[in-house]
Amino acid sequence: MKIALIGMSYSGKTTLAQVLSKKYKMDCFDVDALIEKDCKQTISQIFEIRGEAGFRRLETQKIQEIAAQNLDKDCVVALGGGAILDCKNREALQDFFCVFLYVSITDLYQRLALDTNKTRPLLKNDTPQALQAMYEFRLPIYREFCHCEIVNQSCDRSVLIG
């Protein structure tokens, strides 16, 4: 089975992808981590240098590459929070079982506050109102595209993977 994990930043996609990969012995791909490795830059640096549009192009290329290289292989892919907004990415993932990791806006604020490095470029300097607007915009798109929704209300990793 090919699984794609979608949801907002801090929803637990990377953690769950690693657990599923280990438990079911399938390849694991973290799209953001792969882009950072290829570019030898952090996502924040890529956003600064290339802008969001430049990052999104890299993201789409990486998703298409993963999908093409894993046509007949089981794998799990952790996508960036905005990846699913692009129809090219949704098309590339049409053969994947898509799982949406839902996190309430309250929990999202709490998790963001815990990230002292503020590594997520679109959340780095945003006001609570901007985060709320992003959340409300993305939520119906996540729900429309997913096959399954998992509510992840805890910052405790064991709750998500238990």
Phi-psi region of 7 (alpha: psi -120 to 50; beta: other; left: phi over 0): left
Contact 102, 149 (CB under 8 A): yes
For residues 76-88, one letter each, b for 16 or more C-beta atoms within 10 angstroms of the residue's C-beta and e for the rest, the string is bbbbbbbbbbeee
- The token pair at 158 is 């064991």
Q: What is the pLDDT of residue 111?
A: 80
Interval 37-53: pLDDT, tens: 999 999 989 999 999 99
Residues 107-126, mean pLDDT to the nearest whole number: 68
Q: Which of the 8 DSSP states describes residue 9?
A: T
Q: What is the pLDDT of residue 23?
A: 95
Q: What is the pLDDT of residue 108?
A: 85
Per-residue pLDDT band at 159 (split at 50, 70, 90): very low
Interval 132-158: pLDDT, tens: 899 999 999 999 999 999 998 765 554
